[in-house]
Structure 1
Amino acid sequence: MSLGRYAMYGVLLLLALYAIGPMVLFAFNALKTQPGLAASPLGLPTHPQWHNFVDAWQQANMGAGLRNSAVLVIATALGVCVISGCAAYAMSRLRVPGSNFFIFYLLVTTALPIQLFLVPLFYLWTKLGLYDNLFGLIVIYWAIFSPFATLLIRSFMVGVPKAYEEAARIDGAGEWRVLTRVVLPMVWPGFLTAALVAGLSAYNEFMLAVTFIQSSDKMPVSTAFFSFKSGYTQDYTLVSAGGLIMVIPVLIAFLLLQRRFVEGYTSSGMTG
């Protein structure tokens, strides 16, 4: 092999170590005791402590957290697809006055940090009875994840020839039938990509979840790490074990859907 090929393999190996190394170290730390972790934070576990996973699961009530996260992910993904799909169809196919302004507005809203709206949003949600409510958190996720999803799905719809829709309208189809029977089957990779992005973002989101959810039985799994703190100290072995438990569902979902996700994201034209 040529020198260039060796160099390419070397760079790929470094990138693989950069990506996998932290997860391997995380797994090692999850199998150590607290003194063992303090003595050798980068070394192998000498006596694996498998009970750390059981302790993390029970102490953080991760079963309830995963169940709540599943509700958040599914509801967020479905809601974002419905909201963004309708908005994208309107901006790409219907003659909406000021559609260019709406596109600019969506670009601006995706750039604004949610921290700017925390105080008024907290006050409003308290008045509406949506505080400490999973549905209230889902509505917030719909609002913050829909702008990007709208632009993503719109980029798919722009590439669909209008001749198919015109033929359907000649046959008497209305706008809803054109959207669901003609456009949707051709742009479903865009909906799948938007659902995956919104779902993974909702699963990993922490700040809004810990701000708007107070009851321990309603908290998603991303807030479980508070349970491993005792006074001013934190059990990092349980943090590592709980982190691995949290990562496993996302890793499985990504491995199953990575081809569709990458194809949909790259073919949309949103990667620049």
Structure 2
Amino acid sequence: MNGADNRTTLTLTYVVLGMAAFITLFPIALMLLNSLKAAPEVIRSPLAVPEEIRWDNYTRAWRDGNFSTAFLNSAILTVMTIILVCGSGSMTAYVLARKKIKSWRLVTGYLLATTTAPIQLFLFPLYFGFARLGLIDNVFAVSVIYCAIFSPFSIMLLRTYFLAVPKELEEAALIDGATHWQVFTRVMLPIVWPGILTVALIVGLNTWNEFLIATTFLQGQGSMTAIVSFFLFSGQYTTDWGQLMAGATIVVLPVVALFIFLQRRFIEGMTGGSVKG
């Protein structure tokens, strides 16, 4: 009886997972399928196989979307944000994990509040401040905004990793003559690197896909990100749907490839950080 119940449970699990995979992958497959069609064919039969494969949709999308510049801007913005968040977040999390803070509940409340607070509350003051400082269309300056947005979550996640490291390792290194900075860089960081990789992946994906801040602070043609350039594909009166799908594929492909390549590390990092602090 138990064997039959186990088989039934396993079958239901596979059915649910199969349905979830279909719901997740179907839009991507439809996007790839329509990216190889002419615009009238996309409108006429979006689910059909292309009558003629139109590879030129990709070349036109790359050229018209100015993706050579947009991808470079997105890459610079993403890398800078990851460096700022992982650098400042790891140091802050290490201090919060090792120092006894009487008002830790207050700090936790602050981090949770800043994580859940909508960016729209600060958008206008930020814009006027950046405009006064001449930082509009500055990719490096915008990375500081992203750092402020993603740091609270990163600090809370990385703190759990530092809490999981035995204090004896740190004490032994200090007894051997290491400085606190050497303990942090040579002992702690190599141990908590799965958490740092997880933070880097989450921050990178969110930075690459972010639209509101990018379209507000990066308005110039030479400073637009890939997401903003893709948004401009849609015309006011007519839209080339084949080219639009090709542009969407170009923008999404790096994100999907990166996640597939690092998904095992990502899952390990998320489960490894589930230590109660």
User: TM-score with structure 1 length normalisation?
Assistant: 0.94
Residue in structure 2 matched with residue 120 of structure 1 by the alignment: 125
Give the Cα separation in 2 of the matches to 1:25 and 1:229: 18
Which position in structure 1 is the counterpart of 2:178?
173
Alignment-derived partner of residue 89 in structure 1: 94
* 1:38 and 2:43 matched: yes
Which secondary structure state, in structure 2, belongs to the residue aligned with residue 147 of structure 1?
Answer: helix
C-alpha distance in 2, partners of 1:232/1:28? 24
2-structure distance, mates of 1:171, 1:69? 44
Percent identical: 43
Match of 1:230 in 2: 235
SS at 1:49's partner residue?
coil
Letter in 2 for 1:253: L
Deviation at 1:108, TM superposition (A): 0.8
Once residues 105 and 14 of structure 2 are traced to their aligned partners in structure 1, the CA distance between those partners, rounded to angstroms, is 46
CA distance in 1, matches of 2:111, 2:47: 45
Q: Which residue of 1 aligns with 2:16?
A: 11
CA contact (8 A) 2:161 2:275 kept: no
> 1:40-95: CA deviations, max 9, x gaps?
12222222211101110000011111111111111111110011011101111124
Unaligned ranges ≥5, structure 2:
none
- Letter aligned with residue 236 of structure 2: G
Partner of 2:255: 250
Q: How far apart in 2 are the matches of 1:270 and 1:183? A: 16
Q: CA deviation at 1:155?
A: 0.8
Higher mean C-alpha displacement, 184-193 vs 11-20: 11-20
Q: Distance in 1 between matches of 2:275 and 2:24?
A: 24
Deviation of 1:15 after TM superposition, in Å, equals 1.7
Q: Offset of 1:217 from its aligned partner?
A: 1.3
Secondary structure at the counterpart of residue 264 of structure 2: helix
- Distance in 1, matches of 2:261 and 2:235, equals 38
| d(CA) in 2 for partners of 1:52, 1:270 | 48
Amino acid paired to 2:183: V
In structure 2, how many angstroms separate the alpha carbons of the residues matched to 1:203 and 1:100?
32
For residues 138-193 of structure 1, what are the alpha-carbon distances to aligned partners after superposition, in whole Å with 9 as ceiling and x for unaligned? 01011001110000100101111111111122223222111112211111111111
Q: Which amino acid aligns with 1:76?
A: T
Letter in 2 for 1:248: L
CA contact under 8 A between 2:233 and 2:244: conserved in structure 1?
yes
TM-score, normalized by length of structure 2? Answer: 0.92
Aligned to 2:216: 211
Q: Distance in 2 between matches of 1:141 and 1:230?
A: 29
Quick check: 2:198–2:270 contact (8 Å CA) kept in 1? yes
Q: Distance in 2 between matches of 1:28 and 1:136?
A: 38
The CA RMSD over aligned residues, in Å, is 1.8
Structure 1: gaps spanning 5 or more residues: none
In 2: Cα distance, 1:77 partner to 1:64 partner = 20
